[in-house]
Amino acid sequence: MSATTAHSGRDDGIPAGRPVVFRDGLVLTMDDRRSVLPGADVLVVGERIRAVGHRLEVPEGTLEIDAGDGIVMPGMVDTHRHLWQTAMRGYGADWTLTQYFVWYYLEWGRVFRPQDIHAGNVLGAVEALDAGVTTTVDWSHGLRTVEHADAAVDALEAVPGRFVLAYGNIQQGPWEWSATPEFRDFVSRRMHGGGDMLGFQMAFDVTGDPAFPERAAFEVARDLGVPVTTHAGVWGATNDDGIRLMYDHGFMTPQTVYVHAATLTADSYNRIAATGGSVSVSTESEQSAGQGYPPTWRLRRHGIPVSLSMDTSVWWSGDLFSAMRATLGADRSREHMEAHAGQGTVTHCHLRAEDVVEWATRGGARTLGLDSAIGSLEPGKKADVVLIKNDRSPVMFPLLNPYGHVAFQAQRGDVHTVMVDGRVVKHEHRLLGVDLARARRSVEETVGYLRETLGEEAWAKGMNPDVPETKIQDNPYTYTDWDARDARWKGAPPSPAPEAG
């Protein structure tokens, strides 16, 4: 049925257009009622789900995938991932946020060439598919020229997943790069006609400078009709001032995505809730880099919609199993600590496994305005489907609590089959239509170039860089002199303390 060609290392697998049925799986539909269907089938014809139910009749020639002993669920959605940084996989495992800013923003982000963006993007995009993440927002803030942006999109188009390019550039003010004719030209050349396979956002942060220079970039986004995604509530970088400026100038919309939103007061959460935006929570990132305590406990109280994200593989993994697990842990850990501080005991956890599975699927779809297309397994929706099944694993049985199994038991190695837009891109634990050998060669070339450019001493030192005597701790953005020192966030501690307001 499938063949591997010796030269490319690419396995094209199952012909596109052939109907596929997942047979006899435990189906998590993630529909409005969160219906769970044991022993059920999911039939896909063309790019859409035709039917979900028991013992479905299927068209002649349908490929049957045995989902017995497995879980069938919607493809996962990562709403904030710096794919270009995958070329530096694991390099910054021990970094703090300040060291990250030193390495990427201040010192070395500017040496990445278009082909380096391409190499990181391809690897990160393939990694996402392998882990069952069928939609990824590429928060691409290394685009210091339009050639870099073209390389980023070339990479996304070369990988058979669903993507959103979130265009950014940490080396220049957003009011500068978004005003250039080259940027407008790029948008009209590359960002139309991709339908729901390739979306577009603008990605930049709001420093809190009262002159609000970011206003010009928000106006470009409004003019283009595209959402803005912004790192908000990040200790030492962005705070309530940025949210207030966005609010006062009318730039907080239901499409706006606030990434992290960890170091904020109740005023800001009220503004986000009132304007209908959502928060992309990167729990592993917030726990170890220092943006603030993972905020799901506060977002729940304010009724703010949540999606999950992995941020960057320069530190962490790129799979949402990690995100679901870490998010449950952080939310529950804080809940227990608050109860103990009042001599109490939590008897029932607020955050349930089914909640994080919803955030990882439908929550992401809603965040991206794609809820009518993806995010659940329902007839008529686009077929982004994941089968979790591993007959060789002692962890795949017994299968008693499907949401708990996804959140706490399964991992990327258990992802058996992945389908995007009706196309099988991974089957029987093997990626199809992906040239992994070529991706590896490109990343090795990038790593070689970077080592040579930095020199061996700087390369080794970069894993634990010194923090120079600059303003970086109060302003990581090299394109502005705005110094947040005098406006340092003065709210209640963002550590796991009871909410003050």
Interface residues with Zn ion (CB under 5 A) are: 311
Residue 192 to residue 121: CA distance in whole angstroms: 20
DSSP string computed for 59-108: -TTPEEEE-TTSEEEEPEEEEEE-GGGGGGTTTTTT--HHHHIIIIIIII
CB of 467 to Zn ion, least distance (A): 19
CB of 10 to Zn ion, least distance (A): 31
Smaller CB distance to Zn ion: residue 11 or 311? 311
Q: C-alpha 69: how far from its chain's center?
A: 29
Q: Look at residues 91, 114, 116 and name the one whose alpha carbon lies nearest to residue 450.
A: 116
Smaller CB distance to Zn ion: residue 166 or 420? 166
What does each C-alpha distance from 84 to 156, 326, 472 come to in angstroms? 11, 23, 22
CB of 80 to Zn ion, least distance (A): 6
Measured N-to-C along each axis, helices 146-158 and 114-130 cross at an angle, to the nearest 10 degrees, of 30
Smaller CB distance to Zn ion: residue 311 or 414? 311
Which residues does 469 contact at the CB level (< 8 Å), separation at least 6?
Answer: none
Q: Residue 255 CB: number of other CB atoms within 10 A? A: 18
Q: Residue 246 CB: number of other CB atoms within 10 A? A: 27
Smaller CB distance to Zn ion: residue 177 or 204? 204
CB of 410 to Zn ion, least distance (A): 25
Say which DSSP state 295 is in: T
Q: Look at residues 453, 424, 456, 433 and name the one whose alpha carbon lies nearest to residue 109.
A: 453
**Residue 333: burial class (beta carbons within 10 Å; 0-12, 13-18, 19+):** middle
Smaller CB distance to Zn ion: residue 311 or 319? 311
CB of 260 to Zn ion, least distance (A): 7
Q: Look at residues 392, 386, 441, 309 and name the one whose alpha carbon lies nearest to residue 130.
A: 386
CB of 141 to Zn ion, least distance (A): 8
CB of 334 to Zn ion, least distance (A): 22
Smaller CB distance to Zn ion: residue 311 or 358? 311
Which residues does 14 contact at the CB level (< 8 Å), separation at least 6?
Answer: 1, 2, 20, 63, 424, 427, 432
Smaller CB distance to Zn ion: residue 25 or 174? 174
Q: Residue type for 196, please? A: D
Which helix (DSSP H) or strand (DSSP E) does residue 140 occupy? strand 133-140
CB of 264 to Zn ion, least distance (A): 16
Smaller CB distance to Zn ion: residue 116 or 311? 311
- Residues paired with 278 in a beta bridge: 257
CB of 481 to Zn ion, least distance (A): 23
Smaller CB distance to Zn ion: residue 311 or 435? 311
Name the residue with the smallest CB distance to Zn ion. 311
CB of 240 to Zn ion, least distance (A): 19
Smaller CB distance to Zn ion: residue 67 or 83? 83
Q: Look at residues 445, 439, 441 and name the one whose alpha carbon lies nearest to residue 158.
A: 439
